[in-house]
Chains A and B, each alone.
Chain A
Amino acid sequence: MEGHIVRTFDGEILNLRMRALAMGGLAIDQVQRAVQALTRGSDDDAREVIARGAQVTGYAQGIEDELVGLIARRQPVASDLKAILAIGRVATDLERVGNAARKIARLAIELHHAPSGAPLNQFYSDVRKMSRLALGMLRDALDAFDRVDVATAATLAPRDQELDAEFQLALRELVTYVMEDQRNLQSTIQTVFLIKALERVGDHARNIAAIVPRLARREATESAALPPPAAPPAAEAVPAGAQRGEATPPGAPLG
C-alpha cells in the first residue's frame, strides 16, 4: 500500500489499517471475555463487555468517517480503492463480532440467574471449544488481512465448516436436554442463541479472509505475465518478434 508520490497518502492508509487491526484486537478480547464471563459465572465481567461494546462501535464509525474523507480527498483508484474499501468491510464484520460478544455477555447474565438452577454446565465445554475455534479463526483472518497472506486466508473456509459442525452437534445435544425436562426450555433457548453468536463470529472471520485474495491480485499481475492470448492467426508470420519481449513467457504466442 506504500510508495505513493504523496507520502501523506501512504500514512493515511497505514493509519486506517492500524485502526482496523486495533479494532480487531478489541473485538477478539470482547468475545474472549464474554465467554469467560459465562464459564466463570461473573456478571461483572459480562457487564464490562456490554459497556465496552460502545468502543467497538466507535471504532467502526471512526473508520467509516475516515474512509469517506480519504475517498473524497484522494479519489483512490485500482488497488488503492480496493484496499480502502476492504478496510471498511473488515470494520463492518468486526463491528458485528463486537455485537456477538455483547449478545454472549447478556445471555451469560441471564443464564447465571436462570431459575432451573445450575445452567447447562455440561455445555460449557462445547462453548469453550467453539470459542477456541472461532477466536483462532478471527486471529488468523486478521493476520492474513494484515500480511495479505492468501495461504492462511484459504484455511478459513474449511475451519468455518468445522465450527458449523460443532454448532450442529451442540444443537442436537441441547435438543435431547430439553426433551428430558421441559423446565430447561428457556435456558436451552438462551444457550442456542449463545452458541449461534459464536458460530457467527466464525462467519465474520471467514468474510474477512475472503477479502484477502482480492487484495493480493495486484501482486499477482506484477510478477506473472498476463494470460496468454488466444493464438492469433498472424502469430506464425512473425516468429522474430518472439525473442523481443523479455516478459513474453517461453512458448507463448507472440502477442
Chain B
Amino acid sequence: MATEMATKVDGVRPSTPRAIVSAAADESLPGERIETRTVGQVTVADPVMSARGVNVHYGDKHAIKDVSIDIGRNAVIAFIGPSGCGKSTFLRCLNRMNDTIDSARVDGEITLDGQDIYDRRQDVVQLRARVGMVFQKPNPFPKSIYENIAYGPRIHGLVAHRADLDEVVQTSLQKAGLWDEVKDRLEHPGTGLSGGQQQRLCIARAIAVDPEVILMDEPCSALDPIATARIEDLIDELRQNYAIVIVTHNMQQAARVSQRTAYFHLGDLVEVGATDQVFTNPRHKLTEDYITGRFG
C-alpha cells in the first residue's frame, strides 16, 4: 500500500522549490506508514485518524499538497499558519466538509479508526457525528437551549426515551461547562446566550452525539479573553475523552492548549512536533519565522 500511495503522491507533485526536508517515519510502525517531506514526527502510536498523501484542489488551485499526519487520541493538536496556508481546508477534509464545495477535489487517504472516510459506502452524516465540528462564530440553532443539544442525538437515533434525552442534554451541558449557567432556562433560545456561552453550547451540541474527534476552527476568535480562557480550560478537560483538532491564528493559544502543533505554509505541512519543541526549538526556518513574527 505504501508503494502505491507514494507513487500516486509523486505523480501529483513532481518537484518542489521549497526546502521542505525529510522527516523520520514512525519507527514503531515499520512498513505501515509512508514518510512525508514534512519536518518532525507526523505519526503517533494508535492514531484515531490518519491522513496520507492528501491533496486538495479548488479548481486549478492546489490548496493542500501531499499532507500526511496522524491525529492522536486524547490529545489536542493545533494547526497554525498564515491565512491561506490551508489549515482550515485540511481541517475540513477530516469530516468531509469540503464535499459541500463543488470545485473542491480531495485525493489521498484519510482514515478514522482505520476506515477510509472517503469510501463510497461511508455515510457522511454518520461521519460528522463521529467527527464533530465547532466553528469560528458560534452558530446555535434558532431554538431552545435544550433543543440545540437534543437535535443530534434524536436524528441519529441515539436515545429511545425522553428521560434518556434529558440525561444526554444534561451531561453534554455539564461536559461543556455550561450546565450551571443554563439549567434553569433550558427552554430559552440558545441565541440569547452570550458569545462565550453560545460557543460552549455548540461544543455541548457536538459532544451530545458522542464523537471521537472534535474539530475546532478558530473557536475563540469571536470571544473576549475571559470567554476564551473558559473555552481553553474546557478544551483541556475534553481531551480526556476526545481527540481535538484546533485551527487557530493565535499562536499563544496553540502553545497553551495543544500537545502537538502542525505548521502549514502555502498548502504544505512544513513541520509537526510536540508543542513545546515547536515553540522553543522549531526545526524548520519557515516555522521559526512564523512563530517569531518574521513572516514577510
Which secondary structure characterizes the binding site on chain A? loop
Contact with A along B20-60 (1 / 0, CB 8 A): 11111101001101111101000000000000000000000
- Which of A56-64, A86-94, A192-200, A242-250 sits within the interface? A242-250
Q: Are A78 and B6 in contact (CB under 8 A)?
A: no
A2-38 to B contact mask, C-beta < 8 Å, 1/0 = 0111100100000000000000000000000000000
Stretch of B86-94, B205-213, B241-249, B278-286 that contacts chain A: B278-286
- Closest-CB distance, B247 to chain A (whole angstroms): 19
Task: Kindly list chain B residues whose C-beta atoms are within 8 Å of the C-beta of A228.
Answer: 22
Q: Given A238-B7, A247-B19, do A226 and B25 touch, yes or no (CB 8 Å)?
A: no
Q: A5 and B35: CB pair below 8 A?
A: no
Interface size class of B (residues with CB under 8 A): 35 or more
Beyond A4-B293, A78-B281, whether A246 also contacts B16 by CB under 8 A is yes
Answer whether residue B106 sits at the interface, using C-beta atoms and an 8 A cutoff. no
Q: Does A72 contact B (CB under 8 A)?
A: no
Complex Cα distance, B37 from A237, in Å, reads 15
Chain A nearest CB, measured from B108 CB (Å): 15
Closest partner residue, chain A, to B4 (CB atom): A237
Q: Say yes or no: B282 contacts A5, CB within 8 Å.
A: no
B296 and chain A: residue at smallest CB distance: A5
B35 touches A77 (CB 8 A): no
**Contact A230/B27 with A244-B13, A255-B37 known, Cβ cut-off 8 Å:** yes
Report the minimum CB–CB distance from B284 to chain A (whole Å). Answer: 8
Please, which residue of chain A has its CB at the minimum distance from the CB of B288? A78
Chain A residues within 8 Å of B293, by CB: 4-6, 9
The answer on a CB contact under 8 Å between B24 and A238 is: no
CA distance A234 to B288 in the complex (A): 30
Report the Cα distance A230→B27, complex, angstroms. Answer: 8
Query: What separation, in Å, do the CA atoms of A217 and B288 have in the docked complex?
Result: 12
Q: Are B6 and A234 in contact (CB under 8 A)?
A: yes
Say yes or no: B10 contacts A232, CB within 8 Å. no
Q: In the assembled complex, how far is the CB of residue B161 from the closest CB belonging to chain A, in whole angstroms?
A: 51
Contact in complex: B35, A234 (CB < 8 Å): yes
Decide yes or no whether B157 CB sits under 8 A from chain A. no
Interface centre among A75, A77, A79 (most CB of B within 10 A): A77
Q: Which positions 269-296 of chain B face chain A at CB distance < 8 Å?
A: 279-285, 288-289, 291-296
Q: Which residues of A does B touch, CB under 8 Å?
A: 3-6, 9, 75-82, 217-218, 221-222, 225-226, 228-230, 232-235, 237-238, 240-241, 244-248, 252-255
Name B's A-contacting residues (CB within 8 A). 2-3, 6-7, 9-10, 13-17, 19-25, 27, 30-31, 33-37, 39, 251-252, 255, 279-285, 288-289, 291-296
Query: 12 A-B contacts, Cβ less than 8 Å apart?
Result: A4-B292, A77-B255, A77-B279, A77-B291, A225-B22, A228-B22, A234-B33, A246-B15, A247-B21, A248-B21, A254-B22, A255-B35
